[in-house]
A and B are shown apart, each in its own frame.
Chain A
Amino acid sequence: MRLLKALIVAMLSLGFCTVSFAAKEMKVGFVYVSPIGDAGYSYAHDVGRQAVEAMDGVTTSYVESVPEGPDSERVILNMARKGYDVIFATSFGYMDPMLKVAKQFPKVAFLHCSGFKMADNMSNYFGRIYQARYLSGIVAGSMTKSNVLGYAAAFPIPEVIRGINAFTLGAQSVNPDVTVRVVWTKTWYDPATEKEAAKSLLDVGADVIAQHQDSPGPQEAAQEKGVYSIGYNSDMSAFAPKSHMTAPVWNWGPYYTKVVEQVRNGTWKAESAWPGLKEGIVDLAPFGAMVPQNVQDKVNKEKADIIGGKKIFTGPIKDQKGVVKIAGGVAATDKELLGMTWFVKGVVGTTE
């Protein structure tokens, strides 16, 4: 059924192309792993796409719910054949399929989100969402009374582990006694399981819930229990207005419009981009009314410091067993951050 939908969309976009070709417009394609929906990861990318769509002389189209693997190669190949100028593929599993297609179409600009492979005409990019998670950790650490924070985590991969560590360091920076309990759901979008994970964290005494999955399930659990929560991806306050304090959010618009502009001018070069708070790619959602002004001020000051060049992962940082992993005064390199597979001290849970 997904395939059928992909075909219909591809066919529609074919009809679209023939029209737009005459106008010599730039064509930009997006490939999403999940339905766009109303909140969440693909939604955030699609808000970025809308910013591109709003540019003069550019048309965009997207295919949603494309499974990672062979199906994605067909979708990307189809876009390249149809004469798209720029193609964004926004999930990790699209990396190798995109690389294969990129080699066949050297004149098309390919951009792959969250991977690590590159080609002359293929960039990889991601955002330093961990910076925003650090800030959200400050909020959580300031607001907790039980000093137990709950974290509903997706998959034990470096991206998620890095986020949990940043969140924990942020919370510890204002409240050294805080511990972060982690429950893995091994899901990206399963509201029932993710809500249950949050409930299990609430049962062991957590009074702030943070999450890495895309569904607002954990937010619902926090609201029902009457405790606070931290969202993810986009402002999730609509789902839990009484609980939602803030959320690390994506803001892809500036990056996407920049890339498309560069391709149009012929100045685009494949790169490995990892923009963050400074570039405005990641940010915090607006604070809920429950977050006191002094906490907001603290977060804003810290945000200014990070934009000014402060590195979050600066030693001494110990792992769960107390072994120093990042030496005092040394900042972790990007390579170390990208390969992070250990929890900092204060996290309760395993990385397996």
Chain B
Amino acid sequence: MEIITIIIPLLAAAVQSGTPILYATLGEIITEKSGVLNLGVEGAMIIGALAGFIVSRYTGSPVLGFFAAGIAGSFATSIHGVVCLWFQGNQVVSGLALTILGAGLANYLGTSYVGLSAPGFSPVAVPLLSSIPVLGPIFFNHDILVYISYCIPPVMCLFFTSTRFGLGLRAAGEYPAAATAAGLNVLAYRWFGILVGGFLMGLGGAYLSLAYTHLWTTNLTGGRGWIAVALVIFAFWRPGRAVLGAYLFGSVMALQLRLQALGTQLPSSILLMLPYVLTVFVLVMSSWRKKTNEEPAALGVNVEPAD
């Protein structure tokens, strides 16, 4: 069998399995850039996945479902905002609580939707671009949500480096005291980071229930939110590297199933471990290269409301 006939579908599958992680990672990057550590990505994703599924099922419009998922994600992370920004609660504990709450709430509310299907997104080939050899089938033969995810990293880069608001948000995460002295409302920036981040996490969840499959089940996100948290560190808080990391994970997830399909004699348990081995490896590698670390200096540090 030609190697190319294996590699191209593998990479196309890598883009698809990487997309939900990409949305969530970008969401966590914008949250952390504002100085808030949100470990509740998994919770926001699963609430988004359920909300998207339910809205799409009742309205028949996956687009509405997709937006509803984002709003539900923002709603979920707003709990984190209330705890950390209003009440100065511990960000780590609050994030963990959000993960548990999100999973529990989604399981509880979603039980009656298990095994049903909802209208969702299907692959649409981009005219012209999809006929480019090799790159076309890998990048331009997906559903519209994948194409949207291509647009977010460049926009985020511009936002962080070239807009007043983006610079203010970074200041809130790097040195909130200085930002306050400069007359910036740090809490407002942090709310923005939390809510926009939650919106993207919700979209990542919706990718699973509206595009990757058109189904809902308990624990649909299956730990992808945690991978996103790890990827933020791998990406050094840069949206561009997040793309790389998400697709790297996507390719490992897709690869282990394809190696089995090809008839490898490796035990399936070893292959299934690969994504998690990679997570550990990625974290070790990124802490080793600590010099280029761009962790926001005030990440996880609460700010007293100025009154």
Task: Please tell me which one of the listed residues A43, A181, A352 contacts residue B261 in the complex, with CB atoms under 8 A apart.
Answer: A181
- What residues on A are CB-neighbors of B212 within 8 Å? 192, 195
Contact assessment for A65 and B107 in the assembled complex, using a CB-CB cutoff below 8 Å? yes
- What residues on B are CB-neighbors of A2 within 8 Å? 104, 107
Q: List the one stretch of A215-223, A257-265, A275-283 in contact with chain B.
A: A215-223
Proximity string of chain A (1-38) to chain B, C-beta cutoff 8 Å, 1 when within and 0 when not: 11011000000000000000000000000000011111
Q: How far is the CA of A192 from the CA of B219 in the complex (A)?
A: 11
Chain A nearest Cβ from B25, distance in angstroms: 17
Verify if B274 is at the interface (C-beta below 8 Å from A). no
Contact assessment for A1 and B261 in the assembled complex, using a CB-CB cutoff below 8 Å? no
Contact assessment for B263 and A348 in the assembled complex, using a CB-CB cutoff below 8 Å? yes
Q: How far is the CA of A121 from the CA of B108 in the complex (A)?
A: 34
Task: Please tell me which one of the listed residues B17, B107, B122, B268 contacts residue A184 in the complex, with CB atoms under 8 A apart.
Answer: B268
Chain A nearest Cβ from B6, distance in angstroms: 7
List the B residue with the shortest CB-CB distance to A240.
B117
Proximity string of chain A (126-139) to chain B, C-beta cutoff 8 Å, 1 when within and 0 when not: 00000000000000
Q: How far is the CA of A181 from the CA of B257 in the complex (A)?
A: 11
Q: How far is the CA of A199 from the CA of B267 in the complex (A)?
A: 20
Contact assessment for B260 and A184 in the assembled complex, using a CB-CB cutoff below 8 Å? yes
- What residues on A are CB-neighbors of B116 within 8 Å? 37-38
- What residues on B are CB-neighbors of A352 within 8 Å? 267-269
Contact assessment for A217 and B268 in the assembled complex, using a CB-CB cutoff below 8 Å? no
Verify if A193 is at the interface (C-beta below 8 Å from B). yes
- Interface size range on B against A: 35 or more
Known contacts being A38-B114, A183-B261, is A196 close to B268, with CB within 8 Å?
A: no
Contact assessment for A224 and B122 in the assembled complex, using a CB-CB cutoff below 8 Å? yes
Q: How far is the CA of A204 from the CA of B260 in the complex (A)?
A: 10
Q: Which of B13, B253, B261, B265 has the most chain A CB atoms inside 10 A of its CB? A: B261
Chain A nearest Cβ from B205, distance in angstroms: 11
Proximity string of chain A (190-224) to chain B, C-beta cutoff 8 Å, 1 when within and 0 when not: 11110111011101101000000001110010001
Verify if B148 is at the interface (C-beta below 8 Å from A). no
- What residues on B are CB-neighbors of A176 within 8 Å? none
Chain B nearest Cβ from A219, distance in angstroms: 10
Contact assessment for B213 and A217 in the assembled complex, using a CB-CB cutoff below 8 Å? yes
Contact assessment for A38 and B122 in the assembled complex, using a CB-CB cutoff below 8 Å? no
Verify if B105 is at the interface (C-beta below 8 Å from A). yes
Known contacts being A39-B115, A65-B111, is A215 close to B261, with CB within 8 Å?
A: no
Contact assessment for A35 and B261 in the assembled complex, using a CB-CB cutoff below 8 Å? no
Verify if B215 is at the interface (C-beta below 8 Å from A). yes
Verify if B33 is at the interface (C-beta below 8 Å from A). no
Contact assessment for A216 and B215 in the assembled complex, using a CB-CB cutoff below 8 Å? yes
Q: How far is the CA of A210 from the CA of B212 in the complex (A)?
A: 19
Contact assessment for A350 and B265 in the assembled complex, using a CB-CB cutoff below 8 Å? yes
Q: How far is the CA of A150 from the CA of B263 in the complex (A)?
A: 11
Contact assessment for A199 and B13 in the assembled complex, using a CB-CB cutoff below 8 Å? yes
Task: Please tell me which one of the listed residues A183, A191, A224 contacts residue B260 in the complex, with CB atoms under 8 A apart.
Answer: A183
Task: Please tell me which one of the listed residues A37, A200, A224 contacts residue B115 in the complex, with CB atoms under 8 A apart.
Answer: A37
Q: How far is the CA of A352 from the CA of B9 in the complex (A)?
A: 26
Contact assessment for A191 and B17 in the assembled complex, using a CB-CB cutoff below 8 Å? no
For the A-B complex with A65-B218, A220-B213, A349-B263 known, give 12 more contacts whose Cβ atoms are closer than 8 Å: A5-B108, A34-B114, A156-B268, A186-B268, A200-B258, A203-B6, A203-B10, A204-B258, A215-B215, A217-B215, A220-B214, A352-B269
For the complex of A and B, the 8 pairs showing the least CB-CB separation, nearest first, are A37-B115, A1-B104, A38-B115, A352-B267, A37-B114, A184-B268, A191-B213, A35-B114
28 A-B residue pairs with Cβ-Cβ distance under 8 Å, sorted by A, are A1-B103, A2-B107, A5-B108, A35-B112, A38-B115, A65-B218, A182-B260, A183-B261, A185-B257, A186-B268, A190-B222, A192-B17, A192-B212, A192-B220, A195-B212, A199-B9, A200-B13, A200-B260, A201-B261, A203-B6, A204-B1, A204-B6, A206-B261, A217-B215, A220-B213, A220-B214, A224-B123, A352-B269
